Structure 1
Amino acid sequence: MIIEQRRYELQPGEAAGFERAWSAARETLNNSGHCEQYGVLRNLDSANSYDVQIQWDSLSGLVAGFACGPHYARFQELVGPYDNRIVSQVRSAPVIANRRRGWDEELIGA
């Protein structure tokens, strides 16, 4: 399992469109077969700053499965217009996690 994290810094007035785009993109993630969970978080200290976290089953599930699959074009059509607002993007693997938070139990205590 990997966690993809994106930080977006939007321009004033873009927040509503950004949230609509990610709301519509949920269908592409839900149907991908590789996305396990996701969340779009608005920074409480900066209304134009958002974090998106996507949990993928594996790196190959993201790269070879989703990005090369049938749902990616629609995903990019929806959220791609905001790619120029990404200020950081990382892919991470959990080392320590709490089961009650929903992370993959296989990594707990590994």
Structure 2
Amino acid sequence: MTGLLDAPVLEQAHLPVRAGEEAAFEAAMAEAVPLVSGIPGFRGIHVSRGVERPGTYLLLIGWDSVGAHEAGFRASPQYTRWRELLHHFYEPFPVVEHSCPFRSNVLASNLAA
């Protein structure tokens, strides 16, 4: 498995956890992380708690492709359990987005064109 930030696709979400439920959320997340790590196309996961907004967590998951996340994980029984463990903590429900790294040589060639 290569590093999270080397993944072709990076899923990111800011997870707003209901006030007072942070400890329970962190325990549930610890149980949930192994569910995603066995999915084909998974590259790594990082979850961190906000400094300025301690009730908001940053979720980053590296994937081989958007399909590995959407069709692979979200269509799996592991995602059903992930949802049961975590989704009730969010208020409001987070927006999940995907990004792809750009390479400086690609950027340079686009700027030169």
TM range (shorter): 0.7 to 0.9
CA displacement 1:26-81 (0-9 Å, x = unmatched): 11111212221011111112211211111111111111111112321111111222
* Number of matched pairs: 99
CA distance in 2 between partners of 1:89 and 1:69 (Å): 18
Q: Does 1:50 align with 2:57?
A: yes
Q: Does 1:29 align with 2:36?
A: yes
Aligned-residue offset at 1:10: 2.2
Structure 1 SS opposite 2:61: strand
How big is the alpha-carbon RMSD for the aligned residues of Structure 1 and Structure 2? 1.9
Q: Does 1:65 align with 2:40?
A: no
CA distance in 2 between partners of 1:26 and 1:109 (Å): 35
Residue in 1 that maps onto 2:83? 76
Residue in 2 that maps onto 1:20? 27
Worse-superposed segment, 85-94 or 13-22 = 85-94
Partner amino acid, structure 2, of 1:27: P
CA distance in 2 between partners of 1:66 and 1:93 (Å): 18
Identical aligned residues as a percent = 26
**Structure 2, unaligned stretches of length 5 or more?**
1-7, 107-113
CA distance in 2 between partners of 1:77 and 1:66 (Å): 14
CA distance in 2 between partners of 1:87 and 1:68 (Å): 19
CA distance in 1 between partners of 2:37 and 2:94 (Å): 25
**Structure 1, unaligned stretches of length 5 or more?**
97-107
Partner amino acid, structure 1, of 2:68: G
Larger Rg computed on CA atoms: 2
Contact 2:12 2:97 in 1 (8 A): yes
CA distance in 1 between partners of 2:16 and 2:77 (Å): 28
